[in-house]
Amino acid sequence: MVYSLCGGTKNCAPPLADGGGGGRTRKHMDVFQFIGYLRQFSVDVALIGGIDLLLRRTLLKKAKGKLAAFLPFLLGIALYAAYAAATGGFAEGADAAAVLTEGMTCGSVATVLRVLFEGRGDAKTECVKALLAGYEVSDEAAKNIAARVGKDEAGAKELLAETAGGENAEALYPLLEKTLAAL
């Protein structure tokens, strides 16, 4: 059976409390149930958003744009990796890809919520600008990138390459795609 960190099985629903998850019986909440409940009630996003906000207003006040842009993603990945390691989740079937995916999803939603909370303009354009904070990106370029992400991958990567460089475009595109999909 393939497990993910979002609750046990591919449908991201927490396993049954009576032990009905594939013939296994449990006497305690395992890593998959716990993460499923975190995701269900968006506690992970609130936690990452809160830590991100606190760090931005204190320790990282003068941080470079790139660090600040990737902070929610790094915090999300760290949260899921720490919990999976602490509870033996890796031994129970969780893998690094699941940790990265859940961490990126959490970081994406936290970024979207921060942009919406700040409410400066078009949400998609502002998300692009937030993720490209370490690069000089005009409003027009951010708007064009936002319009192409999810519809024209090659075109979006071309625009990203003009702004952030070719290698960075390959790394940034999945983050932008996941973040803009959350809107």
Task: Tell me how far CA of residue 50 lies from CA of 33, 46, 179, in angstroms.
Answer: 23, 6, 18
Q: Are residues 25 and 101 in the same domain?
A: yes
Sign of CA dihedral 74, 126, 180, 152: negative
In this structure, what token pair is assigned to residue 80?
Answer: 């899921």
Q: How far is the first Cα of the chain from the last one, in angstroms, to the nearest whole number?
A: 32
Residues 6+ apart with CB under 8 A from 44: 35, 38, 76, 79, 80, 102, 106
What tens digit of pLDDT does each residue of 23-46 get? Answer: 545 445 566 677 677 667 667 777
Mean pLDDT computed over 38-55? 75
- Say which DSSP state 13 is in: P
Q: What is the pTM of this model?
A: 0.56
H-type helices in 31-165, by residue range?
31-40, 43-57, 65-86, 96-118, 123-131, 139-148, 153-164
Q: Are residues 47 and 77 in the same domain?
A: yes
Q: Are residues 12 and 95 in the same domain?
A: yes
Q: Are residues 94 and 16 in the same domain?
A: yes
Identify the burial level of 45 via C-beta atoms within 10 angstroms of its C-beta, where 0-12 means exposed, 13-18 middle and 19 or more buried.
buried
Q: Are residues 92 and 148 in the same domain?
A: no
Q: What is the pLDDT of residue 29?
A: 58
How many domains does the chain divide into?
Answer: 2
Taking residue 100's Cβ as centre, other Cβ atoms within 10 Å add up to 16
Q: Are residues 126 and 107 in the same domain?
A: no
What tens digit of pLDDT does each residue of 105-115 get? Answer: 888 778 777 77
For the chain, give the percent of residues with pLDDT over 70.
Answer: 73
In this structure, what token pair is assigned to residue 46?
Answer: 């609130």
Domain that holds residue 183: 121-183
Among 75, 102, 118, the domain boundary falls at: 118
Among 118, 135, 161, the domain boundary falls at: 118
